[in-house]
Structure 1
């Protein structure tokens, strides 16, 4: 099954909320874990999660800090990754959907909510400060890894899918944007 390419938050939220079997839908998110991935949750897929082999690993792989030799960034990223997983496990529905709404507001309505804001919401104040400083340093702090850069064929296919999805949204009578469904946060 093709992994969907999305450009807006609320279409993904609608798909999750309308799923008959959440486990099957989550399985679609894993996609091709060997290509273009920074995260690997395959050990939690329906096929792998201690069903066939009870001793199977439950490791989650997070590779965002890959390729760096900066010990400070590695430590900060490890704290962020652990807190993200804690929050994902423990957040109540209201907290989770507040963040989803803020993401939709930022992406679709021009609001401001970014990773630094999210880290502050997770009470990772020192890590948020570190990330903000790192972002301000720009190219000095970041490197471009072309190892997983999409090929021209993949870029063309992604563009075709996006156009197809936009055409489908216009034709099926769905609301034009999430802004018609939700008011901007105060």
Structure 2
């Protein structure tokens, strides 16, 4: 009996070892000026290119103040309440719960301990990257949602008008963190 278990273990280990996963293909994106991405909803032009997966296009999904990007075939049946998680999407809007105070270089609603604790309650692997030295300070957040187990990506950026902030959200196709991380890294490189 021990021999059978040992042999089965060896076969499983060999099969697992002999079939490593193929490396993921690089994510193909195109740069879309943020003012185009947001459909002109920003209070002033901002020099930021948003890396949008090449298969995404601006959709006509309706929600006041929001701009959605996804595959055109998904947009045909998507609604603001039922977005195409299987193939991913992006959207942006003006933030209502996050503001930026230039005097203190603080994103209220993110930088304060209470807000970070709320993020950590609803997600794991919360990572925050700050970009506060440019003309339009930004903060990027990536995390794994506790409720869905899927990665989530958010970017908040100061508009430079009052304390106004806009945000971008990415849901990677099939919740694949390799695609989400690649697109988010491209966005980080575009922040000036």
Shorter chain as denominator, the TM-score bin is under 0.3
TM-score for both structures, normalised by structure 1: 0.23
Give the structure with higher Rg (CA): 2
Q: Larger strand proportion, structure 1 or 2?
A: 2
Q: Larger helix proportion, structure 1 or 2?
A: 1
TM-score for both structures, normalised by structure 2: 0.22
